[in-house]
Amino acid sequence: MLIFNTQNELVSHLTSISNEATSIGFVPTMGALHEGHLSLLKEALLHNPVVVISIFVNPTQFNNADDLAKYPRTLEADVAKIKTVSDTIVVYAPSVDDIYEGKTVSEHFDFDGLEHQMEGQFRPGHFDGVGTIVKRLFEIVKPTNAYFGEKDFQQLQIVKKMVAKLKLPVKVIGCPIFREPNGLAMSSRNERLTTEERAEAAIIFKTLSEAKIRFHVQSAEEVTEFVTEIFQKTTPFELEYFTIADEETLLPCTTKNNTKKYRAFIAVFVNNVRLIDTISLN
Ligand code: AMP
């Protein structure tokens, strides 16, 4: 399997094996790979003769230095997992310098307000960091199709918005959330939970599923009260936010409109580990 640490090596390899007509599928990740990431790779392999995965813990999207320092970095194990999917996948695992060339700062983006909701409120600067790295990686890899998980639904909408606004020549494809058997959304951060916390974290998806049922007959406000009460009773889980929002605009739902699609979004701390999840409500 080919692993490149510099953009120059990656680009010259891609140029040697593809031409303008070759479809390149791309899966950007921060590593510590799990079945969720692998499901994106499998989807990419179905539709593209060339598939590239990037593994890069992007410093500019972390607003919390401790979270960045503790983010798991497991390149060797990641490569072994990628091989189980296919050894034709091209890995790009750059250094911070290879990407940022000495200037580790974000560009500023206007995502028409999508960036101010939910994760944007609680993680200042996060989406400027996401926009910066995704744009940079798109410039390097020049993918035809790029695959993102619906687990980070706000990020998916923001990347779609960036591609539309900057007219980037790439199709952004959203893929379903891969879950552990108890319903917990797979996440690299799950590795930082104890065995008990990981089992108890099933409460997150269980509550989202209950919220979905209630939303058929209750208002967004009533459902939000129900979820807030659940987490008040459930230590060590601490609710950061629960929001029911319009899938397109990500604006909070005040009164239900039958023509709109809604989604519930949640962020929860388990001790110091921050977990997010989302569910479609229609
Ligand atoms: P990350 O490494 O956490 O930045 O994630 C890289 C990509 O994998 C993003 O597009 C995520 O949305 C996606 N992803 C992460 N967890 C899951 C999951 N449980 N199911 C599907 N996709 C996921």
Residue 84: Cβ-neighbour burial (10 angstroms; 0-12, 13-18, 19+): exposed
Mean pLDDT within 93-103: 97
Query: What's the CA-to-centroid distance between 218 and ligand 1, angstroms?
Result: 31
Q: Write the pLDDT tens digit of every residue in 25-44.
A: 999 999 999 999 999 999 99
Which residue, judged by its Cα, is nearest atom 13 of ligand 1?
Answer: 149
Instruction: Work out the mean pLDDT of the chain and round it to a whole number.
Output: 97
Sign of the dihedral defined by the CA atoms of residues 148, 150, 152, 157, in that order: positive
Please, which pLDDT band fits residue 59 given cuts at 50, 70 and 90? Answer: very high
Q: Percent helix, strand, coil in the chain (nearest 5)?
A: 45, 20, 35
State the CB neighbour count (10 A cutoff) for residue 194.
11
Q: Please work out whether the CB of residue 89 comes within 6 Å of at least one atom of ligand 1.
A: no
Q: What is the pLDDT of residue 16?
A: 97
Binding site membership of 26 for ligand 1 (Cβ less than 6 Å): no
pLDDT at 112: 98
The domain locations on the chain are 3-175, 188-280
Q: pLDDT band for position 11 (50/70/90)?
A: very high
pTM above 0.85, yes or no: yes
Band (98; pLDDT cuts 50, 70, 90): very high
Which residue CA neighbors atom 18 of ligand 1 most closely?
A: 36
Whether ligand 1 lies within 6 angstroms of the CB of 177 is answered as yes
Task: Note the pLDDT of residue 171.
Answer: 98
For 208-218, write each residue's pLDDT tens digit.
999 999 999 99
Give residue-wise pLDDT tens across range 175-194: 999 999 999 999 999 999 99
User: What is the per-residue pLDDT for 144?
Assistant: 98
pLDDT range class, residue 249, cuts 50, 70, 90 = very high
CA dihedral 109, 175, 62, 137 (to 10 degrees): -60
Q: Which of 37, 47, 126, 216 is catalytic?
A: 37
Catalytic annotation present for 37: yes
Amino acid at 275: L
Top-level class of domain 3-175: alpha beta
Report the separation in Å between the CA atom of 39 and the middle of ligand 1, taken as the mean of its atom positions.
9
Q: Tell me which of 2.40.70.10, 3.40.50.620, 1.10.3720.10, 3.30.1300.10 is the CATH number of domain 188-280.
A: 3.30.1300.10
Cα(128)–Cα(125) distance, integer angstroms: 5
Give the bridge partners for 145, in sequence order.
Answer: 25, 171
User: 151: CA distance to ligand 1 center in Å?
Assistant: 6
CB of 40 sitting under 6 A from ligand 1? yes
Ligand 1 binding pocket includes 33 (Cβ within 6 Å): no
Going from the C-alpha of 53 to that of each of 10, 42, 50, 218, the distances in angstroms are 11, 11, 10, 42
